[in-house]
A and B are shown apart, each in its own frame.
Chain A
Amino acid sequence: MTDVAVVGFAQARSERHSPATTNGVEMLVPIFHEVFGATGLTKADVDFWCSGSSDYLAGRAFSFVSAVDAIGAFPPVMESHVEMDGAWALYEAWLKVLTGEAEIALAYGFGKSSAGTLRRVLALQLDPYLVAPLWPDSVSIAALQARLGIEAGLWSEQDMAEVAVRSRSSAITNAHAQLSGSTSAAELLCEPYIADPLRAHDCAPVSDGAAVVILATGSRASELCARPAWITGFEHRIDSASLGARDLTTAPSAVAAGAAAGAGRAQVAELHAPFTHQEIILRRALGLDAGNDRSGDGARINPSGGALCGNPMFAAGLARIGSAAAEIMSGRADVALGHATSGPALQQNLVCVMEAP
């Protein structure tokens, strides 16, 4: 199989209210400029473009059509779009490179979550006949999942708060983060519930943002980047949509994708966990904790602060892969994992494992 590597990554700062329009152009143009500047590429070098976004988030049909204006797509470009997080756009871009139709491929994702009431918008992802009419919002569904795990003794509110403390602390050095700072679990646990057992710190902030990742084939990657992040495993799976038909305290699709991609070897992992307890589920599903299925230390988790410190819908998963790749490109790690999720209660999961040359 063709060698493919991540050679470039840029992201917009996560913001609670971006002045950008819902088509993402104002958030995308600066980060395209940044990633082209870093790699020395121009738009003419990109053989295939793929984006991830959601019309429902934008509250309009065809929001991605206007996003194409950020490319300057004339002469016309080879381009595609997924109604998914940009991480899956990266997957489609990876396929195009593997087929030999592209040597350089660019994936981007964007989302203006502030355009609506996110937790209610996401309720429209549910079964439209039997579940969505009840309007169970995304935070309430996550709360049910957290409660199941607490009652099964799999984690505690203390464990969850510690995830938030570590994430915010890590984000202090991340200029793109929306939330960061030093705090303690004891302090956070004094805060009120917003959806029992979830407190504000357990939930990712509502974020506007965008991210871009560039892929290159073996022959080009080393020219473009001193330490490309070579993709050695790229897998995704989906679980049942029926919330009552699966064990919500784990994520079988993450387990399967992680096993197929070789997740257990990662030294560092950027996990797309919009809720604190979901990070715990994912660490276990992917075998990242010390002692479980791995010898030696556990993987470093979310050195960027993760989605709990900035969760631009449809870009946050791609940003996790980009942030994991940055760990390799900077020399901080030799094996890194980027993860993306989609759907209620971790229904769909993607794992991208990357390694140093």
Chain B
Amino acid sequence: MKQRAAVLGTGQTHHRSKRADVSIAGLCREAVDRALADADVPADQIDAIVVGKAPDLFEGVMMPELYLADALGAVGKPLLRVHTAGSVGGATGVVAASLIQAGVHRRVLAVAFEKQSESNAMWALSITPPFSMPVLAGAGGYFAPHIRSYIRRSGAPNHIGAMVAAKDRRNGARNPYAHLRQADMTMEKVLASPMLWDPVRYDETCPSSDGACAVVLGDQAAAEASDQPVAWIRATSMRTEPTMFSGKDNVNPRAGADAAAALWEAAGITSPRDQIDAAEIYVPFSWCEPMWLENLGFAEPGQGWRMTEAGETEITGSLPVNPSGGVLSSNPIGASGLLRFAESAMQVTGKAGEHQVAGAKTALGHAYGGGSQYFSMWVVADTPD
């Protein structure tokens, strides 16, 4: 019933705080052209396009995929627009995979972007509609209390966040497309940076980026016809829970844990810690690394920080996390999830260059969004099963 699907190629832009050299369409096209070239698939072989991005208020364009139809080569084809908050890039990959797994299409282009410099994300996040809790001037203020709660519950030492940030920024220096490339970043430097939302310091938070990512997906026949290595999609998973309700666990949200459990089961993974070779996890604030390691089942509750502290999540560790530099090095919000998915595919196809994890065969792509309530993820591998 479910058809096999694989990633045939990926592409991304150089992520910067302001890509004033290109329009929104130009930004997307840069990623699309790289993905089509990487997959060696001409645009006319694409059957359908899936576009993902975070709130339209981030650019000030309502449903920009309508205007982008021409630039994306979508005219005359089906085009879907996904929006699941910060997890949208991941959801874009999942929906694109569904089009192939459902047997509807053979080759699908997934595109996700954010051009934050066109508008002001802080403003867009700070609108206070009636009867809704304000998100307190952006995401950092919203998540900091959850991080403090994690520290209290786990007893993690205060330097763990700084270790994550230093590692991801150093990894970013290995990635030619990363927005922040800080090869000499250290835990000490991070700890010396100004406090923004206690305990999150300036160097522990993601940048605000313009950028796009594109992924070409294909069915089994398209994958087998490819001259290049492909990343087989072993499983996808999405879960949602409400933003706020009595009993919500913001440190270890059930939606994330349920999504991970369903993912591992569908992928036939019984011990994620042993069977995943590289993980691209959505870590916009440093402390999300240990929190999500636990939520995903890589560590027992309260123990994730020990993996970070022991260096297990370094690119040379037993579970490299965000070898690309992750969201802490580039954050074009709508694209950040698809970047995680694309980077996981790059790892298992040996295309990750300077940030390649040696021998990676099975990798995780992960994204979350809203008030830690939307989760999307996939597992890719170098063989179909």
B67 and A127 form a contact (CB under 8 A): yes
- What sequence of 0s and 1s flags, for each residue 143-155 of chain A, a beta carbon within 8 Å of any chain B beta carbon? 0000000000000
B134 to chain A, nearest CB (A): 11
B129 and A80 form a contact (CB under 8 A): no
Q: Given contacts A56-B57, A239-B75, is CB(A95)–CB(B241) below 8 Å? A: no
A46 to chain B, nearest CB (A): 12
Most A Cβ at <10 Å: residue of B24, B55, B99, B103: B55
A78 to B98, CA, bound (A): 14
B79-134: which have CB < 8 Å to A? 79-85, 91, 94-95, 98-99, 101-104, 118, 124-125, 127, 129-132
Cβ of B183 within 8 Å of any chain A Cβ, yes or no, is no
A76 and B255 form a contact (CB under 8 A): yes
Among the listed A75, A79, A122, which residue makes an inter-chain contact with B62, where contact means beta carbons less than 8 Å apart? Answer: A122
A98 and B103 form a contact (CB under 8 A): yes
A71-89: which have CB < 8 Å to B? 72-84, 88
A68 to chain B, nearest CB (A): 6
Which residues of chain B come closer than 8 Å to A343, judged between CB atoms?
63, 66
A258 to B129, CA, bound (A): 40
B24 and A82 form a contact (CB under 8 A): no
Which residues of chain A come closer than 8 Å to B91, judged between CB atoms?
80-81
A124 and B61 form a contact (CB under 8 A): yes
For residue B3, which residue of chain A has the nearest CB?
A99
B67 and A125 form a contact (CB under 8 A): yes
Which residues of chain A come closer than 8 Å to B132, judged between CB atoms?
23, 66
Which residues of chain A come closer than 8 Å to B62, judged between CB atoms?
54, 56, 121-122, 124-125
Among the listed A61, A65, A84, A348, which residue makes an inter-chain contact with B373, where contact means beta carbons less than 8 Å apart? Answer: A65
Cβ of A100 within 8 Å of any chain B Cβ, yes or no, is yes
Cβ of A91 within 8 Å of any chain B Cβ, yes or no, is yes
Which residues of chain B come closer than 8 Å to A159, judged between CB atoms?
none
Among the listed B23, B76, B95, which residue makes an inter-chain contact with A237, where contact means beta carbons less than 8 Å apart? Answer: B76
Among the listed A21, A62, A74, which residue makes an inter-chain contact with B370, where contact means beta carbons less than 8 Å apart? Answer: A62
B102 and A99 form a contact (CB under 8 A): yes
For residue B94, which residue of chain A has the nearest CB?
A80
A59 and B127 form a contact (CB under 8 A): yes
A256 to B238, CA, bound (A): 32
B227-255: which have CB < 8 Å to A? 238-243, 245, 254-255
Which residues of chain A come closer than 8 Å to B225, judged between CB atoms?
none
Cβ of B56 within 8 Å of any chain A Cβ, yes or no, is yes
Cβ of B74 within 8 Å of any chain A Cβ, yes or no, is yes
A22 to B70, CA, bound (A): 31
Cβ of B30 within 8 Å of any chain A Cβ, yes or no, is no
For residue B68, which residue of chain A has the nearest CB?
A241
Q: Given contacts A54-B62, A59-B127, A62-B85, is CB(A241)–CB(B69) below 8 Å? A: yes
Which residues of chain A come closer than 8 Å to B245, judged between CB atoms?
74
Q: Given contacts A73-B242, A74-B242, is CB(A91)–CB(B129) below 8 Å? A: no
For residue A347, which residue of chain B has the nearest CB?
B66
- What sequence of 0s and 1s flags, for each residue 234-247 of chain A, a beta carbon within 8 Å of any chain B beta carbon? 01111111100100
A347 and B69 form a contact (CB under 8 A): yes
Cβ of A173 within 8 Å of any chain B Cβ, yes or no, is no
Which residues of chain A come closer than 8 Å to B68, judged between CB atoms?
241
B240 and A95 form a contact (CB under 8 A): no
Q: Given contacts A65-B373, A95-B102, A128-B64, is CB(A55)–CB(B55) below 8 Å? A: yes
Q: Given contacts A76-B240, A80-B95, A98-B102, is CB(A61)–CB(B124) below 8 Å? A: yes
B60 and A238 form a contact (CB under 8 A): no
* Chain B interfacial positions (CB closer than 8 Å to A): 1-2, 23-24, 54-70, 74-85, 91, 94-95, 98-99, 101-104, 118, 124-125, 127, 129-132, 238-243, 245, 254-255, 258-259, 370-371, 373-374
Known pairs A22-B129, A55-B56, A83-B83 / 18 extra A-B pairs, C-beta < 8 Å: A21-B131, A54-B56, A61-B58, A68-B241, A76-B258, A76-B259, A79-B240, A81-B83, A81-B91, A88-B80, A95-B95, A95-B104, A96-B98, A100-B1, A128-B60, A237-B77, A241-B67, A241-B70
10 contacts between A and B (CB under 8 A): A55-B83, A76-B241, A76-B254, A77-B240, A80-B94, A92-B80, A95-B98, A95-B99, A127-B67, A256-B76
Closest 6 A/B residue pairs (Cβ): A98-B102, A61-B55, A76-B255, A79-B240, A124-B62, A56-B62
